[in-house]
Amino acid sequence: MKEKKIRLLLVEDDKIDRMAFERLVMKEDLPYDYVVAGSIREAHELLESHDFEVVVTDYMLGDGTAFDVLDRIKDLPSVVVTGTGDEEVAVKAIKSGAYDYLIKDPQGNHLKLLPVAVNKAMAKKSTEAELERHRERLEELVAERTAELQHEIAERRKAEEELKRNLAFLEILLDTIPSPVFHKDLKGVYQGCNDAFANLILGLPKEEILGRSLFDLPGSISRELADISHSQDMALVQNPGTQSYEARVRCADGVERDFFFSKATFNDSRGRPAGLVGIMADLSERKELEEQLLQAQKMEAVGTLAGGVAHDFNNLLTVIIGNAHIALMGLEEGDPAREEIADIKDAGEKAAALTRQLLAFSRKQVTRPEILDLNNLITGLEKMLGRLIGEHIEMDILPGSKCPLVKADPGHMEQVLMNLIVNARDAMPEGGKLVIETTDMDTETAPPFGPDNLPHNGPWVMLIVHDNGLGMDDETRQRVFEPFFTTKERGKGTGLGMSTVYGIVKQAGGIIRVSSKPGQGTEFKLYFPGAEGETQSEEAGIEPGRDLTGSETVLIVEDDPNVRDMARKILKKKGYRVIETGDPRKALKLWEQNMDTIKLVLTDVIMPGMGGPKLAEQMRKQDPGTKVIFMSGYTEDAVARHDIQEEGEDFLQKPFTPKALAKKVREMLDREN
């Protein structure tokens, strides 16, 4: 392959030196395609018109020096040849861009070195060009990498900002969670927590919690609880996953609360356990509700038991009171036996009142409004209230002289009084004074009631119950009527007493107010509208002088033979024809056989085999106009569960008097279908 020739410019004004160069090229067959310039001007022209790869120039020229040539060929490799041996010139030539420097000798030996110098200059230029290319490429790579790094840095900063925002959001989110949340490392040292944990559980700033374990933290956490928590943590660390348990914790406010702990381990980027997180759910309210439900269920059971006892007891009282009344009606005035029988009647009526009071205390009394004298009701309860409060409390009863009658359920009013008295008693554990007072007032003299106003224009009765006990702060006073709210110890109260009072007062159309200060006692004021135009008869609801006799046929269905016998005697004395039985199924047959003559059915509500409501239903399928009076010693709730709808109009509560029975029978018979 033919060797490529090097395009060379020789700048030499000495003819002999030019000829020596030409002989060298020819002799050594050097691969030079050369052009000769005899002056600097000619060299400049050739450089403009030719594309040379290398320049060989003499130092001293006729119209200048080699530096004038080097100034124009800075990008070409060059070799300076001179006849002087001045090192200063050589250094200057190299600094001016010459690649090499040769010194002429008279024998021309320097020409032998010229090819080497040219090759070195060419190689150096090639190396420099390669280095330049590498430098440029390196700069490109550096620029590209710099741009990539700048992008990565920008993305990383963006990611860091996003992470900061997410962490800030997460911290805010955790702090808004009312449940305590915490984060520990594998040794049980806190690495993070929310405000609820810091404030509610430990009562410490977060910065004092982080980096410490429960054993190192001051506060309310007991050593026992710390040991339990640490052992649970270590068990979870040994067996990664989830864990849950319940524990009672004394919180920073000193209150013990039940918590449900839920914990879980989490891993690092390599999948290895790195720590655990936990959340604490406050179970106190749930447990309190469970206790309230249990207490309510107990009260319901007591009420059910009381209702059952009342049924049997009222049956007995019905016989006792009824027969006493019958016996009195058969005795003349002045008969020595009247006093003893009257005592029996009074004792039976007192026993009936006691039953009513017991039912009121168990919240199971029948709702039956009557015209009442509050003074008489309070006086009748005085002995029982005295036993209720104990000897360490002095009780004064101050009845008003002009108090109007009120329309309310006597059992409910007794319940109101007993609840208020019990509340006052509990507020005076060391003894004190209790005052029960009544007074009259009217709309104009009544205090302003704000949004309640007074729904009744006319006379009012104010009942005041005042004690000089412990009193209440404003927060307790504002919540005193809330259901299940109580200040008593766990298991000592249901929290239903005052809410029951409030409901009864409202149901009676009344208003209740309470005032109290810690250490200054408590005063309840109850306002009831007066029953204008109403009178309290000898026996509630019986009009004086009304004829209660009759001749109609009445079917009595009662499984208690004593009650059935007494009802039969009462009605027969009033002139009625009576058919009686203790078997509801037999009663249905008797009714079918005497349907045209039986004008009224008097039946007990609850009987073996078939209840009174079911019996009435069977009868009314054949005759929808059948008149029925239900009687029962059970309470209203029990009666309502057995589908008696027209409460009070076709229902007679045991125990009843002969007059009450005769009145109810006469009313039902006189009522149009």
Give the pLDDT confidence of 353-401 residue by residue, as tens digits. 666 655 554 444 455 678 889 999 998 888 888 888 888 899 999 998 8
- Measuring CA to CA, how many Å separate 652 from each of 335, 355, 372, 612, 636? 32, 16, 19, 13, 11
User: Each residue of 565-585: pLDDT tens digit?
Assistant: 999 999 999 999 999 999 999
Per-residue confidence (pLDDT) for residue 589, from 0 to 100? 94
User: Each residue of 177-201: pLDDT tens digit?
Assistant: 888 998 899 888 998 889 888 888 8
User: Each residue of 298-327: pLDDT tens digit?
Assistant: 656 655 666 666 667 777 888 888 888 888
Residue 525 has pLDDT above 90, yes or no: yes
User: Each residue of 592-603: pLDDT tens digit?
Assistant: 999 999 999 999
Question: What pTM does this model have?
Answer: 0.46
pLDDT band at 443 (very low <50, low <70, confident <90, very high): low
Per-residue confidence (pLDDT) for residue 648, from 0 to 100? 35
pLDDT band at 492 (very low <50, low <70, confident <90, very high): low
Residue 70 has pLDDT above 50, yes or no: yes
Say which range, 100-109, 146-155, 398-407, 585-594, has the weakest mean pLDDT.
Answer: 100-109
pLDDT band at 546 (very low <50, low <70, confident <90, very high): low
Local structure of 621: helix, strand or coil: helix
pLDDT, mean of residues 662-669: 91
Per-residue confidence (pLDDT) for residue 666, from 0 to 100? 93
Q: Which residue has the higher pLDDT, 269 or 432?
A: 432
For residues 419 and 500, the answer to whether their CB atoms sit within 8 Å is yes
The CB-based long-range contact list for 181-185 (8 Å cut-off, 24+ gap) reads: 181/277, 181/278, 181/279, 181/280, 182/277, 182/278, 183/275, 183/276, 183/277, 183/278, 184/233, 184/275, 184/276, 184/277, 184/278, 185/274, 185/275
Q: Which residue has the higher pLDDT, 644 or 466?
A: 466
Cα distance between residue 568 and residue 553, in whole Å: 11
User: Each residue of 174-183: pLDDT tens digit?
Assistant: 878 888 998 8
The chain-wide mean pLDDT, for the chain, equals 83
Cα distance between residue 189 and residue 270, in whole Å: 21
Per-residue confidence (pLDDT) for residue 438, from 0 to 100? 93
Per-residue confidence (pLDDT) for residue 405, from 0 to 100? 92
Residue 451 has pLDDT above 50, yes or no: no
pLDDT band at 444 (very low <50, low <70, confident <90, very high): low
Q: Which residue has the higher pLDDT, 488 or 130?
A: 130
Using a pLDDT cut of 90, give the percent of the chain over it: 23
Per-residue confidence (pLDDT) for residue 76, from 0 to 100? 86
Residue 212 has pLDDT above 70, yes or no: yes
Q: Phi/psi at 339 (nearest 5 deg)?
A: -65, -45
Per-residue confidence (pLDDT) for residue 249, from 0 to 100? 86
Residue 284 has pLDDT above 60, yes or no: yes
Written as one letter, the residue type at 618 is Q
Tokens 């009442």 sit on residue: 372
Residue 235 has pLDDT above 70, yes or no: yes
CB-count exposure of residue 609 (10 Å: 0-12, 13-18, 19+): exposed
pLDDT band at 509 (very low <50, low <70, confident <90, very high): confident
User: Taking each helix axis from N to C terminus, what angle separates 284-329 and 561-573, rounded to the nearest 10 degrees?
Assistant: 50
Per-residue confidence (pLDDT) for residue 647, from 0 to 100? 39
Q: Which residue has the higher pLDDT, 295 or 350?
A: 350
In 480-559, which residue ranges form alpha helices assigned H by DSSP? Answer: 497-507
Residue 499 has pLDDT above 90, yes or no: no
Cα distance between residue 397 and residue 263, in whole Å: 61
Longest alpha-carbon distance in the chain: 187
Say which range, 6-15, 262-271, 510-519, 631-640, has the weakest mean pLDDT.
Answer: 631-640
Query: What is the number of residues in the chain?
Result: 673
Residue 649 has pLDDT above 60, yes or no: no
pLDDT, mean of residues 130-140: 88
Using a pLDDT cut of 70, give the percent of the chain over it: 85
